Structures are given as structure tokens and as C-alpha cells.
Amino acid sequence: MVEHLTPSPALSWRYTQFSIGRLDPYWHVHPEFELTLISKGRGTRLVGDSVEEYQPGDLTLIGPDLPHSYVSTGEDMPNDVVVIHFRRDFLGAGLFEKPAFANVAAMLDDAANGIWFPDPPAWPAGLDATGPDALAPPERTVELLRLLVAMSRVPYRLLAAAQQRPAVSREVAGRVDAMVAAIHSGYESPLTLEEIAAAANLTPSAASRLFARCTGSSITRYLTVVRVNAACRLLRETDRPVATIAGDAGFANLSNFNRRFRTVKRMSPSDYRAHFRTGK
């Protein structure tokens, strides 16, 4: 969907913190930067054409008008999330073009493709809107600026490939969101392209073109990654045989599961389980 956001009261930016049983599909765009911290929860993150698993500690910075979605994997589980929205000029026009903030300006430019921070800086307690460490709006704004500076000084990785992104209307966003929802609600079954397309009231060919044009990913690729991410959770949290997990995650046979898993994770399911349990 196309979102229109308003700043939090007494701030020139927006702070949202919530805990929820699960994050449902919500593919959307907006003209603000979005800074998202996942404290608890696991699932699939879609940013442009990037489809990856998110885990606790996941920190991303998503630029304006870059489509994205976070969707929980598996049963209901705690999801603790902080989301901050801001515009480039939230501290006044031209501030980030000053030489002192050259690193921040470069980071904001890179956020056009989405950014993931493998080793993020410490999250300032003063950004919280409630609790004993809550600060007044001026101090909280300074803490956000301090965080952006710290983020600009640590390594990060771009998520989405550079691509020409079409303007997304509410109708188009709603159709893509419907297909994403259909994939996440039906990935455990032998889900067909026809069923996914029907969720958006489109023919299979039209659905494939629209999904690829808006996300940069094919429907098949997205469905595969969602299934692999679901399998990863089962490999981490259960002792079920790999063959059983393959079926539970929606793969028709073990050989196809092994091949798809290795393509996404660059290791076999058995190696993934072993690496996870040894803390690697």
C-alpha cells in the first residue's frame, strides 16, 4: 500500500514501538526513510528485489519510495519492533549536505537500495518514548541524530539491486500485497501460480509481470525463499528429520529442497543445522 505518515507529536519525525504476536504481510511504500529494529521475531524481509530472512537484532534503513515488507515465519511468537520514519530535511533543509555530515549523506543516498547493518551500533535508550529513560523531544531528536552518525561509521550492506522502480498506485500495491499474503498463508501446501494470481484478481501471466515489475523478484523466487526461511526455523528449533522438514515447508521432494536450500543459504540443510547449533 502507499502510506501517508505524520510525525509524532512535538517531533519532526515519527517513532513507533510495538509488540505483536506476528507480523502479517504488508507490502507498502512511503516517501519517508524507515529505520527498523527487530528486537524479537523471525521471518522474511522483502526490500525491493531483496528477499532475506530477518532475525533478532536486525537493523535496516530503507529509503523513500522503496517497497518493503516484514512477515513472520511460523506460529505466533513475540515480535518486538521499533520503527522510525523521517524525511531527509527533518532537521532543516541542507543539514546533511554540510561537510560534517558527509558520511550520513552518503548513507542516506545508499538507502535508496535499502541497507542492512551486520554489526549495528548500540541503540540509544533515550529514543524510547516511555519508561525511566524517556527524554524530552529535543533530546530524543539529538539521540536520533547521534544514532544516524554512528550508523554511518559502521560497515553495512546494500539490500536491493539498483533498478528502475515504477510509480506504485494504491491499486497496484494492493494487488502485490494480496499476492504476498497468499504466498505466506499457503506456502506449506502445493501452492500454484494460478492460486497466487487469483488472490490479486489477475491472470497468471499478468500476476507474474506485475510482481516482477514492482518487486524485482519473480513469484517463484519469493515463494522459494519464504519456504527456505520456514525450513530454517524448523532446523533451528526442532529435531525433525530433514526430509520431514522439507515437506512441512512446502517442498515436493527432498532433492528439490536440498537444491533450493543450497541456492538460498549456500550450504546444505544439515550443515545449516550443525552451524546453528555450534553457534557459528
- Give the integer Cα–Cα distance in Å for 260 and 268: 9
Closest CA relative to residue 262, chosen from 232, 218, 219: 232
Report d(CA 202, CA 194) in Å as an integer: 9
Topology annotation, domain 14-158:
Jelly Rolls (2.60.120)
| Res 169: pLDDT | 82
| pLDDT value for 74 | 66
**Mean pLDDT (the chain, rounded):** 90
pTM for the whole thing? 0.85
Which of the four CATH numbers 1.10.10.60, 1.20.200.10, 3.40.30.10, 3.30.70.260 does domain 170-277 have?
1.10.10.60
Q: Which backbone phi and psi does 96 adopt, to 5 degrees?
A: -80, 0
Q: Is the pLDDT of residue 162 over 70?
A: no
Return the pLDDT at 4. 54
Sign for the pseudo-dihedral over CA of 111, 117, 123, 128: positive
- The answer to whether 14 touches 8, Cβ cutoff 8 Å, is yes
What mean pLDDT is predicted for residues 124-151? 86
- Give one word for 213, left, alpha or beta, with left for phi > 0 and alpha for psi -120 to 50: alpha
- Residue 135: other Cβ atoms inside 10 A: 16
Question: What are the sequence ranges of the domains in the chain?
Answer: 14-158, 170-277
Contact status, residue 17 vs residue 128, Cβ threshold 8 Å: yes
At residue 166 the predicted structure's pLDDT band, cuts being 50, 70 and 90, is: low
Query: If we measure between CA atoms, which residue out of 146, 181, 160 comes closest to residue 63?
Result: 160
Task: List, as one string, the DSSP characters of 101-130.
Answer: GHHHHHHHHHGGG-EE-SSPPPPPGGG-SS
User: In the prediction, which pLDDT does 77 show?
Assistant: 74
